[in-house]
Amino acid sequence: MNIRISLFFGFIILGLPLFAGEQPAAFRAALLTTGKDAAAVKPLMVNNRADWYEPAAKTELLNEMRLHFQTQESTEEGTKSPALSALFSAVVPGAGQAYAKSYWKAAAFAMAEVLLVAGYISYQSRGDAKDREMRALADSRWDEKRYWSKVYKLATDNNDWDGPPLQTDANGLLSQSDVDANIDRLRYWESNGNYYGFTHVLPTTKTQQYYEMIYKYLIQFGVGWQELGNDWNYYDNPSSLNNLTDDVARYKTIRNQSNDFYHTAVTLSWVVLVNHLGSAIDAALTAKNYNQKLHVRLYGQSRYYAGRVMPMYGLQFNW
């Protein structure tokens, strides 16, 4: 916005000799009179200066003076609220800069927001896809019945089992019906048997923790991976933890990829918040600078008023 306010010192300084004979009250009445009322005003000056206040000429002069004073009042409407500007950008980065008429900044913050949000959505989606792939692999290759069969074997080997003997097949596996019927007793010895490598309790449902535990704690849960066959004790040897079987190695890779995508998404979400905060602060400063961009210039020029050419002096304010 560019508003020019002109204060016509020439009118005041050079006009004094012309108005020397005018009464102040009469002059104020003339200033407040426009339109048809102006035509009814009698010439106010004497000594051959009455022609200066002919009705048409006086009306032209007064109207132009009012225009300049109205322009001065409009500067109040042109200022920008730093608080409102900050609020706009806190909600939508760049909005406060646009409000303060800094359009390049507005575009920069808005573009950053679009890219950051798009990046967050992309990485979150990729993390979800890898997580689904990981769960599908676990559901097809990790058998919970194998794990409970190991718990039963440890309980019987250590003379802890206090229930009726259960039937196992040639591979030492319990039937699913026996597992379901004795799950409470199996869970009790899982947490109270003090068996080698048993540090956790398998969740009752397939939660995120469930899928984390079956590959992180292989001494306890590794037996559930079907690719081990009858080698139930493969992961009891700590050296095997550095020589993962194919399914476990693949599962771990997919899980790490999923975690990496999620971590990137979380980082981007923080950067989004920083962009909102930074845009809000910048918007407040931009609005403040907008209001302070006041330039004052003294100038002089000749203007034609009421049939006469007059030298005028003024101040120009640019916002």
Residue 123 lies in a domain: no
**CB within 8 Å of 173: residues ≥ 6 apart:** 145, 146, 149
Residue type, 244: L
CA–CA dist 193, 42 (Å, integer): 116
Parent domain of 58: 9-78
How confident is the model at residue 179, as a pLDDT?
Answer: 95
Residue at 297 is within a domain: no
- Identify whether the C-beta of residue 31 lies closer than 8 Å to the C-beta of residue 41: no
8 Å CB contact between 170 and 181: no
Q: Quick check: is 33 in a domain? A: yes
Residue 319 amino acid letter: W
Residue whose entry in the numeric block shows the structure tokens 């916002």: 319
Give me the amino acid identity at 7.
Answer: L
pLDDT on residue 245: 96
Q: Which amino acid is at 89?
A: S
The closest of 233, 204, 206, 203 to 220, measured between CA atoms, is 233
| Conformational region of residue 198, where left means phi above 0, alpha means psi within -120 to 50, and beta covers everything else | beta
**Count: domains in the chain:** 1
107 domain residue, yes or no = no
SS3 letters for 202-231?
Answer: CCCCCCHHHHHHHHHCHHHHHHHEHHHCCC
* pLDDT digit string (tens) for the chain, length 319 residues: 444 444 444 444 334 344 434 444 444 444 444 444 444 444 444 444 444 445 555 565 555 555 554 444 444 457 889 999 999 999 999 999 999 999 999 999 999 999 999 999 999 999 999 999 999 999 999 999 999 999 999 999 999 999 889 999 988 999 999 999 999 999 999 999 889 989 999 999 999 999 999 999 999 999 999 999 989 899 998 889 899 999 999 999 999 999 999 999 999 999 999 999 999 999 999 999 988 875 444 555 656 555 565 666 565 555 5
What residue type is assigned to position 228 of the chain? Answer: L
Contact 10, 313 (CB under 8 A): yes
* DSSP-derived secondary structure letter, 243: S
In a domain, 42, yes or no: yes
Q: Determine, yes or no, domain membership for 117.
A: no
Q: What is residue 145's predicted lDDT score, i.e. its pLDDT?
A: 96
Which residue from 181, 185, 131 is spatially nearest to 162, judged by alpha carbons? 185
In a domain, 50, yes or no: yes
Helix pair 183-192, 144-157: axis angle to 10 deg: 60
